[in-house]
């Protein structure tokens, strides 16, 4: 950031909820598809239609509000936000207005940007509304509207003012942590590229120590974490340059161009829009009793932060491992599920973050797209723990599981890969190796301790690695001693 200035970034995040049906009708939700194939009279705003709220969506917002440490009011009302736009079927959007009316208000989220102190970002509101349709422009130059998205439940999460976020890195970290939390809660698929998670930061800069905040610009079209960070960085720089040149920053909405990495003006906000909010007379107020709220709170899944702490404290994992296993939802879920099958956490962690990660990396597959399931890993680790297979065999059967989806214990059984712990067999093999290698055997007897490795290796080689190395060594020492 330019020296002598500081930035303020307010974050407005829209989240499409992962419900099966829309907010006020029973049309399915989804992404893509032929335009206007997931519509009905209700979400098209036909005359005489009425909304029936989606309970699942309401519960998801209550969950999110509580996970973000928000207050939940006893009564929460839906309002109508009135404006004309072709993608808005009814001429109003059902939303929520007011300071203490939204399902969640006055909360916070803790962020830990790399190498900095943790920081609480205050949340002003978490509210529920309906999404709009989408304008489409045809190749022939015509335009139309696709209402498939119209009426999809949308949660809006807005940070407090004055903003706690003061630079692009924090903004990105806020979004990363928020998305991860939402994924843990299971309330969205969080796909930024499909618009399930849309972030519209508002940015202003002011000379260090200035009492008032500068003019804000709002940034749109940020479709990835990287865009969020780069877009805000660019915008902060642009505003500082304008101020340095003695120019005014205009209050406007700007778009982010991902290929040129430049923001461009979309529209100027000369006047505040008057949305004529009023309570929607078609919908009864939502009531949240203290018991309901407590029940939801008790049922909240573990947060990423709490899980990180538990992995370090209770499972004895390193900061690095705990971080890897909690910061991506697929890994977190995979690890938890395998752990739930009662295997050693450290061994599991090693096999998951080691060989499994390497294979996925090499193949370019995401873990959910591979043939590996938590049961494969649990099965593998269980055999390693019991000494049924050694790590060399383990690697092989893991590769096999990765390639064919075969269960590791099944591979071990069908290919006869189990370790040989049969005493009689090992006694015979050790005796044979001693007889065939008189030189090394003599060296060991005369005190050259390290030769034992070579002798044990001969037994392992002869058994194709299946002999239990610990037992072989024990027997070797006995016979040479």
Partner 1 sequence: MTGWTARETAAALRRREVSAVEVAEFFLDRIQRLDLQIGAFLAVSREWALQQAELAQKTIDDGSAGPLSGIPVALKDNLTTREIPTTCGSRILEGHRPVYDAHVVERLAQAGAVILGKTNLDEFAMGGSTESSAYGVTRNPWDTDRSPGGSSGGSAAAVAAGFCPVALGSDTGGSVRQPAALCGVVGFKPTYGRVSRRGLVAFASSLDQVGMFGRTVEDAAFLAEAVSGHDPGDSTSIPFEPVSLEPVPLKGVRLGFPKQLRDSAIDPDVARVVDAALASLRKEGASVVEIDLPSIELGVSTYYVIAPAEASSNLARYDGIRFGPRVDGDGHVGTVASTRGKLFGHEVKMRMILGTYVLSAGYYDAYYHRALQVRGMMAAEFEKVFQEVDWVVSPTSPRTAFRLGEFADDPLALKAMDLCTVPANLGGFPSLSLPCGASDGLPVGLLLTGPAMSDGRLLGTAHSIESALGPFPAPDLG
Q: Which residues bind partner 1 (CB under 8 A)?
A: 41, 44-53, 80, 82, 84-86, 89-92, 145, 272, 274, 276-278, 281-284
Residue number, 44 or 427, with CB nearest to partner 1 = 44
Please state the separation of Cα 340 from the chain's center in Å: 20
Residue number, 279 or 357, with CB nearest to partner 1 = 279
Residue number, 87 or 336, with CB nearest to Zn ion = 87
Q: Which two tokens stand for residue 179?
A: 């998305």
Please choose which of Zn ion, partner 1, none residue 340 contacts, taking the beta carbon within 5 to 8 angstroms, the exact cut-off set by kind. Answer: none
CA dihedral 92, 98, 104, 106 (to 10 degrees): 140
Please choose which of partner 1, Zn ion, none residue 27 contacts, taking the beta carbon within 5 to 8 angstroms, the exact cut-off set by kind. Answer: Zn ion
Pairing of strands 252-257, 217-220: parallel
The residues, any chain, with a CB within 8 Å of residue 38's CB and separated by 6 or more, are 22, 27, 28, 29, 30, 148
Please choose which of Zn ion, partner 1, none residue 82 contacts, taking the beta carbon within 5 to 8 angstroms, the exact cut-off set by kind. Answer: partner 1
Q: How far is the CB of 25 from Zn ion (least distance, A)?
A: 3
Contact 64, 185 (CB under 8 A): yes
Contact 340, 302 (CB under 8 A): no
Residue number, 13 or 25, with CB nearest to Zn ion = 25
* Rounded-to-integer distance, Cα 464 and Cα 417, Å: 9
Q: How far is the CB of 69 from partner 1 (least distance, A)?
A: 30
Please choose which of partner 1, Zn ion, none residue 409 contacts, taking the beta carbon within 5 to 8 angstroms, the exact cut-off set by kind. Answer: none
Q: CA triplet 225, 102, 162: central angle to 5 degrees?
A: 55
Q: How far is the CB of 145 from partner 1 (least distance, A)?
A: 7
Q: How far is the CB of 310 from partner 1 (least distance, A)?
A: 42
Summarize as ranges the residues that interact with Zn ion (CB under 5 A): 25, 27, 40, 42-43
Residue number, 147 or 311, with CB nearest to Zn ion = 147
Please choose which of partner 1, Zn ion, none residue 47 contacts, taking the beta carbon within 5 to 8 angstroms, the exact cut-off set by kind. Answer: partner 1
CB-CB neighbours of 206 under 10 Å: 18
Q: How far is the CB of 83 from partner 1 (least distance, A)?
A: 9
| Phi, psi for residue 222 in degrees, rounded to 5 | -100, 105
Q: Which two tokens stand for residue 100?
A: 């203490």
Contact 344, 316 (CB under 8 A): no
Residue number, 85 or 264, with CB nearest to partner 1 = 85
Please choose which of Zn ion, partner 1, none residue 43 contacts, taking the beta carbon within 5 to 8 angstroms, the exact cut-off set by kind. Answer: Zn ion
* Rounded-to-integer distance, Cα 397 and Cα 350, Å: 16
* Rounded-to-integer distance, Cα 315 and Cα 332, Å: 14
Output the CA–CA distances (angstroms, integers) from residue 399 to 188, 312, 332, in the order listed: 33, 29, 22
Q: How far is the CB of 23 from Zn ion (least distance, A)?
A: 9
> What residues form DSSP beta bridges with 40?
none
* Rounded-to-integer distance, Cα 214 and Cα 31, Å: 38
Q: How far is the CB of 90 from partner 1 (least distance, A)?
A: 5
Residues in the chain, overall count: 481
* Rounded-to-integer distance, Cα 316 and Cα 322, Å: 9
Residue number, 47 or 439, with CB nearest to partner 1 = 47
Q: How far is the CB of 102 from Zn ion (least distance, A)?
A: 24
Q: How far is the CB of 163 from partner 1 (least distance, A)?
A: 25
| Phi, psi for residue 430 in degrees, rounded to 5 | -60, -45
Please choose which of Zn ion, partner 1, none residue 90 contacts, taking the beta carbon within 5 to 8 angstroms, the exact cut-off set by kind. Answer: partner 1
Please choose which of Zn ion, partner 1, none residue 207 contacts, taking the beta carbon within 5 to 8 angstroms, the exact cut-off set by kind. Answer: none
Residue number, 48 or 209, with CB nearest to partner 1 = 48
Residue number, 42 or 401, with CB nearest to Zn ion = 42
Residue number, 145 or 266, with CB nearest to partner 1 = 145
Q: How far is the CB of 20 from partner 1 (least distance, A)?
A: 18
Output the CA–CA distances (angstroms, integers) from residue 442 to 456, 472, 478, in the order listed: 15, 18, 14
């Amino acid at each position: 950031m330019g020296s002598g200035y500081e930035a303020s970034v307010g974050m407005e995040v829209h989240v499409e909820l992962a419900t099966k049906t829309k907010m006020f009708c029973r049309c399915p939700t989804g992404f893509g598809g032929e335009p206007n194939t997931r519509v009905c009279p209700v979400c098209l705003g036909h005359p005489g239609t009425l909304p029936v709220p989606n309970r699942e969506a309401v519960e998801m917002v209550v969950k999110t509000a509580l996970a973000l440490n928000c207050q939940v009011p006893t009564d929460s009302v839906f309002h109508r936000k009135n404006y004309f736009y072709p993608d808005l079927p009814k001429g109003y959007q059902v939303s929520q207005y007011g300071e203490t009316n939204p399902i969640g208000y006055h909360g916070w989220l803790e962020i830990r940007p790399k190498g900095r102190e943790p920081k609480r970002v205050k949340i002003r509101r978490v509210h529920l509304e309906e999404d709009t349709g989408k304008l489409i422009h045809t190749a022939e130059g015509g335009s139309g509207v696709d209402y498939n998205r119209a009426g999809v439940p949308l949660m809006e999460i807005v940070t407090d003012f004055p903003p706690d976020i003061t630079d692009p890195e924090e903004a990105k970290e806020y979004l990363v942590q928020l998305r991860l939390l939402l994924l843990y809660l299971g309330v969205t698929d969080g796909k930024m590229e499909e618009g399930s998670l849309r972030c519209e930061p508002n940015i202003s800069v002011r000379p260090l120590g200035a009492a008032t905040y500068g003019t804000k610009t709002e940034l749109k079209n940020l479709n990835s974490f990287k865009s969020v960070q780069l877009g805000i960085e660019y915008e902060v720089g642009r505003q500082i340059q304008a101020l340095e040149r003695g120019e005014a920053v205009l209050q406007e909405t700007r778009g982010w161009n991902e290929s040129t990495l430049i923001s461009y003006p979309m529209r100027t906000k000369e006047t505040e829009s008057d949305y004529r909010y009023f309570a929607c007379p078609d919908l009864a107020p939502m009531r949240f009793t203290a018991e309901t709220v407590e029940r939801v709170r008790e049922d909240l899944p573990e947060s990423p932060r709490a899980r990180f702490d538990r992995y370090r404290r209770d499972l004895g994992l390193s900061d690095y491992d705990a971080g890897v296993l909690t910061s991506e939802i697929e890994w977190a879920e995979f690890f938890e599920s395998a752990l739930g099958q009662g295997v050693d956490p450290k061994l599991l962690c090693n096999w998951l973050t080691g060989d499994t990660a390497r294979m996925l990396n090499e193949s370019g597959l995401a873990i959910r797209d591979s043939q590996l399931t938590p049961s494969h890993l649990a099965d593998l680790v269980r055999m390693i723990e019991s000494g049924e297979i050694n790590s060399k065999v383990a690697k092989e059967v893991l590769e096999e599981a990765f390639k064919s989806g075969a269960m590791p214990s099944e591979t071990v059984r069908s290919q006869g890969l189990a370790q040989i712990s049969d005493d009689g067999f090992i006694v015979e093999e050790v005796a044979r190796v001693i007889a065939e290698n008189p030189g090394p055997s003599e060296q060991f007897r005369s005190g050259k301790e390290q030769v034992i490795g070579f002798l044990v290796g001969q037994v392992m080689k002869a058994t194709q690695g299946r002999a239990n190395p610990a037992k072989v060594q024990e027997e070797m020492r006995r016979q040479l001693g």
